[in-house]
Structure 1
Amino acid sequence: MKRSFIPLLIICLLMAGAVPAGAASIPAGFDSWPLQGTTDAKKVWTIKFSLPLDSNSVNRSNIYVTDDSNRSVSTSLVRSADGTSVQVKPSSAYTVGKKYWLFISGGLTAANGKNALAQPIAAPFLVAEENSKIIQISASHSPLLTSFTVLTSADVFSVKINSKNMIYQGNNTYTLGMTGLKTGGTVTVYAYDSKGKCLKNQKYTIK
């Protein structure tokens, strides 16, 4: 995925998703990004900038990872030779099924002394089992409408709930609103490849 903040920055997190932020405490002033999903327990994040960074500001105070309980996760940072990108590598594999947060703080600066970000970033990501097709299903339920969000792997081409097509929102994320559903009821989510083959189906109970 790609978003720009000021001419100084283009950050590429190379993953996808869109679910509301979770339990972690987000520092004041941080822009909370949509949830990402990965099946790579040793996922290396690559952050790209349009101008070289000040090497002294590339440290674990300004770029860091926590779990969903705000516990620090050990990582190493590798700045590219030209200073325009940083890789964030976990010291050990992430735990499958857990949610983590990648934080990029306002202390990060460019080599010219200017701030590297217009706003600090908090980017959540969920580590799923290898070969997972449906990474996460979530829903917001009311008596009038149930709004579903489904996060999939990159090889999923389309998704249905029961017989209804979900709407692709980008970043491997699909949404759909449905009426007439009740708490405790179930729906079935189907994930398909580009040829219409069902890769995975999974039941979901409405809460």
Structure 2
Amino acid sequence: MKQKRRKLVAFLAMFIVLLTSSQLGIAKEWDFEPIDDVNKAWEIKFNIPLDGSSLTTDSVYILDGKGKHPVTLQLTGNGNTVQVSPKVPYEVGKQYMLMITGAVRANEGKALKTSVEVPFRVVNPTEKIIAVQSLTSGYLTTLTVTGSPDVHKVKVGTEEMRYKGNNRYQATLFDAKPGSTVTIYAYDESGKSLGTKQHKYE
């Protein structure tokens, strides 16, 4: 009778990645996560126990734009959950990147085939337009806006953005010039303006 080989699976409030062979793959960046807790501890859950010796600040860490943000790693649960806690509070308005690398291994030796990058920013909970991101490929720029729960419509200039779920709105723009500025408008359910935000294309 053949035995089924178990694959190591990681969760971070959502499905992240399969941990399979010992070979590393290309890093995968996940959706931007806005948070409002400057002391937020991230919990990364796996479906099988981890090798605790593989959990170091070189295998799981947070980048703050200048280097590594100081964190504490703790293996909890049945050895299948990693808690990443900041030693120093995050700064409001600053963007960070949670990194989970291929150096993380299960007890049976399986490792991340694909490294994981989770971008997040600490936001002011009173803001209506929480975050704006733009990604340019060739002549096309994809603009993604994250709004507060009471935002029901978002426009970039005069164009209404498409709702993508999870308080996110998106629009594809043609020939947006790097360094140019665009205005984002947020509206409530009745169409009342909730505020604006300027965004500069990178």
Decide: shared fold, TM above 0.5.
Answer: yes
Say whether residues 1:94 and 2:94 are aligned partners: no
Residue pair 1:137, 1:204 contacting (<8 A) in 2 also? no
2:169 aligned partner: 174
Listed one character per residue, the Cα deviations across residues 102-139 of structure 1 (whole Å, up to 9, x for unaligned) are 11111111112211x22111222111123333112244
* Gap change, CA 1:138 and 1:33, over 3 Å in 2: closer
Larger Rg: 2
* Gap change, CA 1:188 and 1:64, over 3 Å in 2: closer
Letter paired with 2:89: A
* Gap change, CA 1:157 and 1:82, over 3 Å in 2: farther
* Gap change, CA 1:29 and 1:206, over 3 Å in 2: closer
> C-alpha separation between the residues in 2 aligned to 1:127 and 1:160?
21
Q: How does 1:79-158 map to 2 (within 5 A)?
A: 79-115=75-111, 117-139=112-134, 147-153=142-148, 155-156=149-150, 158=152
The alignment's TM-score, normalised by the length of structure 1, stands at 0.71
> C-alpha separation between the residues in 2 aligned to 1:62 and 1:180?
39
> How well do the aligned residues superpose, as a CA RMSD in angstroms?
3.2
Q: Percent identity?
A: 28
Greater displacement, 130-139 / 41-50: 130-139
Residue pair 1:133, 1:199 contacting (<8 A) in 2 also? no
Say whether residues 1:61 and 2:58 are aligned partners: yes
> C-alpha separation between the residues in 2 aligned to 1:76 and 1:140?
32
* Gap change, CA 1:168 and 1:57, over 3 Å in 2: same
> C-alpha separation between the residues in 2 aligned to 1:189 and 1:124?
24
Give 1:160's match in structure 2, choosing from 149, 154, 160.
154
State the number of aligned residues: 183
Point out the structure with the larger strand share: 2
Cα deviation, residue 35, structure 1: 2.4
> C-alpha separation between the residues in 1 aligned to 2:159 and 2:11?
35
Unaligned runs of 5+ in 1: 1-5, 15-27
The alignment's TM-score, normalised by the length of structure 2, stands at 0.73
